[in-house]
């Protein structure tokens, strides 16, 4: 699945991995987000923090008729209001991806996989 755009100069194709890496980079800059988590929580219930080069493992990108749907798996900081962190992250992801890719973002689903105490 790629995001396709045609211009006067030719065609532009953006891969799913590139969209996922961009979304992962954006969400890790949001207040209250400690980092990205894998889509599957480990056997004993612990969520692992992903490194910068593995952000795509914590993001699912689906192309629909009306646009893109993004699923993000994150770990939040202890002591923050989770609903506010998620709501602001959804707004930021949708705004930046729409401006960057010139594609409609129909849904941004955020799944909180864990809470961490940050020293």
Summarize pLDDT for 3-39 with one digit per residue, the tens. 888 889 999 899 888 999 899 889 989 999 988 887 6
Summarize pLDDT for 89-102 with one digit per residue, the tens. 999 999 999 999 88
pTM for the full predicted model: 0.82
Summarize pLDDT for 59-73 with one digit per residue, the tens. 899 988 998 999 999
**Which has the higher per-residue pLDDT, 37 or 48?**
37
Where do runs of H (alpha helix) occur along 30-117? Answer: 82-101
CA distances from 96 to 24, 78, 101, 106, 118 (A): 12, 26, 8, 13, 27
Q: Is it the case that residue 44 has pLDDT exceeding 60? A: no
Q: 2-116 sits in which CATH class?
A: alpha beta
């Amino acid at each position: 699945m790629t995001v396709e755009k045609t211009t006067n100069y030719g065609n532009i194709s953006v891969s799913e991995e590139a969209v996922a890496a961009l979304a992962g980079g954006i969400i890790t800059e949001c207040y209250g987000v400690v980092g990205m988590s894998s889509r599957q929580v480990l056997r004993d219930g612990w969520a692992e923090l992903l490194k910068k080069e593995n952000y795509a493992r914590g993001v699912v990108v689906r192309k629909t008729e009306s646009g893109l749907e993004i699923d993000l798996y994150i770990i939040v900081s202890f002591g923050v209001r989770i609903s506010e962190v998620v709501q602001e992250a959804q707004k930021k992801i949708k705004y930046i991806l729409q401006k960057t890719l010139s594609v409609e973002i129909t849904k941004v689903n955020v799944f909180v996989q864990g809470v961490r105490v940050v020293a």
